Amino acid sequence: MYEIIYNDIEPKEEDENTIKEVLKKCFKEEKIEDSKLIITITLTNEKNIRKINKQYRNMDKSTDVLSFPMFEKDELSRKIKNNLFEHEDILGDIIISIPKVKEQAKEYGHSFKRELSYMIVHGFYHLMGYDHINEEDKKEMRPKEKKILKDLNILRK
């Protein structure tokens, strides 16, 4: 279901528990818990995420989360609908800047767990082919994110 990589960040059991809880709910909500799909989650610092952002998106700045899906939305939907996951397959990669998560949690006045959970859900739905660039796409993605967090009782404070 997932693998966590620590890149210049100390592992924390509570972060791993949060990631596990959130991804389990995401997989269940999208009915892919038996799909054998795997997500790689890299927890890192601002310097590393900035380097990745520059390399892959030509944006020379730090960010909170990056997502790199392996499937187009239509292709993934077809595979899920027809249960075409006989073997393990990579859904994609999510890279999260832990210092940025801490900063944003403080800025928005809620817990680190809530902000990390949101980054996981947000990244997951990007891997599922959703986006938020235009209003129409945002109207599809945001309710899905909110439902996961609400169902887990991980709310804004």
Burial of 37 (0-12, 13-18, 19+ CB in 10 A): buried
Q: What tokens does 103 get?
A: 């900063």
Query: Is 112 within a domain?
Result: yes
Q: Answer whether residue 19 shows pLDDT above 70.
A: yes
Q: What tokens does 2 get?
A: 């997932």
Amino acid at position 84, single letter: L
- For the entire predicted model, the pTM comes to 0.94
Determine the structural domain holding residue 127 and report its residue range: 2-151
The DSSP element (H or E) to which 22 belongs, if any, is helix 13-29
| CATH code, 45 | 3.40.390.30
Query: Is 157 within a domain?
Result: no
Amino acid at position 59, single letter: M
Query: Is 156 within a domain?
Result: no
Q: Answer whether residue 157 shows pLDDT above 80.
A: no
CA distance 100 to 7: 14
Query: Is 63 within a domain?
Result: yes
pLDDT in tens, 86-109: 778 899 999 999 999 999 999 999
